A and B are shown apart, each in its own frame.
Chain A
Amino acid sequence: MQLTAYIGLLFALLVSIFTAGAAAWAAWKDREDLKPLVEYGNIATALGVVFSSLILLMALAARNYSFLYVYEQVDNTLSFVYTLTAFWGGREGSLLFWELVIALGGVVYLYSPSYKALGGRTKLYFWAVFMTVQAYFLLLLTGWSNPFITLSPAPADGRGLNPLLRNPGMIFHPPLLFMGFAGYTIPAACAVAASIAGEEKSWVKLTRNWNILAWVFLTAGIVLGGWWSYMELGWGGYWAWDPVENASLIPWFAGTAFMHTAVIEQRRGALQRSNVFLMCLTFLLCIFSTYLTRSGVIESLHTFGESPVSLPLVLGMAAWLGLALVGTFMGEQHVKRSLSDFMSRQGMLVASAWFFLALGFVVTLGTMWPVVSKLWSTESVGLGPDFYNRVCLPFLSLLVLVFAFCPWLGWRGGIRNTRGMVIALAVFLGSGGSFALMGVTQPVALLGASSAIAACCTIAMLFFFYPGMRTSLLSWGQYGIHLGVAFLALGIAFSGPYKTEREVLLAEGETVQLEEYVLKFTEARQDATPEFRARLTGTLEVSRDGEILGVLHPEKRIYRNFPRQQFAEVSVIPSLGDEIYATVLGIDEGGKVSFKISVNPLVNWIWIGGTFMCVFGFLLLRRHREVLEPNDR
Chain B
Amino acid sequence: MAKKSNKGVYIVAMLLFLGGLGYLIVSGLSEDSTYFLNVSEALALEEGQFNKARLFGKVSPRHLERAPGSLGADFDLVDKVDGVNVLRVSYRGAVPDTFKENVEVIVEGRYDPARNVFVAKSLVTKCPSKYREQSEAMDREKG
B64 proximal to A (CB < 8 A): no
Establish whether residues A585 and B35, one from each chain, have CB atoms under 8 Å apart when the complex forms: no
If A338-B1, A341-B6, A391-B24 touch, whether A380 touches B127 (CB-CB below 8 Å) is no
Contact partner of B126 among A301, A366, A390, CB < 8 A?
Answer: A301
Per-position binary interface string of chain B over residues 104-143, scored 1 when its CB falls under 8 Å from any chain A CB and 0 otherwise = 1010100000000000000010111111101110000000
A234 proximal to B (CB < 8 A): yes
Q: Which residues of A contact B24 (CB under 8 A)?
A: 362, 390-391, 394-395
Residue among B32, B37, B45, B108 with max Cβ neighbours from chain A (10 Å): B32
Name the distance in Å between A161's Cβ and chain B's nearest Cβ.
8
- SS of B interface (majority): mixed
Establish whether residues A387 and B32, one from each chain, have CB atoms under 8 Å apart when the complex forms: yes
A347 proximal to B (CB < 8 A): yes
B25 proximal to A (CB < 8 A): yes
Contacts between chains A and B (CB distance < 8 A), count = 169
Establish whether residues A89 and B32, one from each chain, have CB atoms under 8 Å apart when the complex forms: no
Name the distance in Å between A144's Cβ and chain B's nearest Cβ.
14
User: Which residue of chain B is the closest to A588 with respect to CB atoms?
Assistant: B68
Name the distance in Å between A345's Cβ and chain B's nearest Cβ.
14
Provide the bound-state CA to CA distance between A373 and B32, in Å.
14
Contact partner of A235 among B9, B17, B96, CB < 8 A?
Answer: B96
Tally chain B residues at the interface, Cβ within 8 Å: 51
Tally chain A residues at the interface, Cβ within 8 Å: 69
B81 proximal to A (CB < 8 A): no
Establish whether residues A505 and B100, one from each chain, have CB atoms under 8 Å apart when the complex forms: no
Contact partner of B127 among A301, A386, A391, CB < 8 A?
Answer: A301
B:1-19 near A, CB below 8 Å: 1-2, 6-7, 9-10, 13-14, 17
Establish whether residues B17 and A302, one from each chain, have CB atoms under 8 Å apart when the complex forms: no
Establish whether residues A379 and B71, one from each chain, have CB atoms under 8 Å apart when the complex forms: no
Name the distance in Å between A515's Cβ and chain B's nearest Cβ.
19
If A72-B135, A505-B69 touch, whether A387 touches B6 (CB-CB below 8 Å) is no
If A235-B96, A342-B13, A587-B69 touch, whether A303 touches B35 (CB-CB below 8 Å) is no
If A380-B36, A391-B24 touch, whether A303 touches B126 (CB-CB below 8 Å) is yes
User: Which residue of chain B is the closest to A394 with respect to CB atoms?
Assistant: B24
Per-position binary interface string of chain A over residues 344-376, scored 1 when its CB falls under 8 Å from any chain B CB and 0 otherwise = 000100110010001000100110011001000
Per-position binary interface string of chain B over residues 32-56, scored 1 when its CB falls under 8 Å from any chain A CB and 0 otherwise = 1111110001000100000000101
Stretch at the interface among A43-51, A57-65, A432-440, A559-567: A559-567
Establish whether residues B33 and A381, one from each chain, have CB atoms under 8 Å apart when the complex forms: yes
A40 proximal to B (CB < 8 A): no
Q: Which residues of A contact B132 (CB under 8 A)?
A: 303-305
Name the distance in Å between B59's Cβ and chain A's nearest Cβ.
13
Provide the bound-state CA to CA distance between A576 and B142, in Å.
55
B89 proximal to A (CB < 8 A): no
Establish whether residues A339 and B29, one from each chain, have CB atoms under 8 Å apart when the complex forms: no
Establish whether residues B136 and A305, one from each chain, have CB atoms under 8 Å apart when the complex forms: yes
Contact partner of B10 among A339, A556, A566, A594, CB < 8 A?
Answer: A339
If A90-B130, A390-B27, A586-B69 touch, whether A340 touches B6 (CB-CB below 8 Å) is yes
A:549-608 near B, CB below 8 Å: 556, 564-568, 583, 585-589, 592-594, 596
Per-position binary interface string of chain A over residues 127-163, scored 1 when its CB falls under 8 Å from any chain B CB and 0 otherwise = 0000000000000000000000000000000011110
If A342-B10, A354-B17 touch, whether A565 touches B130 (CB-CB below 8 Å) is no
Establish whether residues A568 and B33, one from each chain, have CB atoms under 8 Å apart when the complex forms: no
Q: Which residues of B contact A414 (CB under 8 A)?
A: none
Contact partner of A585 among B7, B28, B94, B134, CB < 8 A?
Answer: B94
Provide the bound-state CA to CA distance between A337 and B29, in Å.
39
Q: Which residues of A contact B69 (CB under 8 A)?
A: 505, 585-588, 592-594
A73 proximal to B (CB < 8 A): yes
Residue among B14, B17, B21, B96 with max Cβ neighbours from chain A (10 Å): B21
If A235-B96, A565-B98 touch, whether A390 touches B28 (CB-CB below 8 Å) is yes
B78 proximal to A (CB < 8 A): no
Q: Which residues of A contact B21 (CB under 8 A)?
A: 358, 362, 391, 395
User: Which residue of chain A is the closest to B100 with respect to CB atoms?
Assistant: A564
User: Which residue of chain B is the closest to A90 with respect to CB atoms?
Assistant: B130
If A234-B97, A505-B71, A567-B97 touch, whether A383 touches B34 (CB-CB below 8 Å) is yes
Given contacts A162-B131, A303-B130, A341-B6, 20 further A-B contacts (CB under 8 A): A73-B130, A159-B130, A161-B130, A299-B36, A302-B126, A303-B104, A305-B132, A338-B7, A366-B28, A373-B33, A379-B45, A380-B35, A380-B37, A381-B33, A381-B34, A386-B31, A386-B32, A390-B27, A567-B97, A594-B71
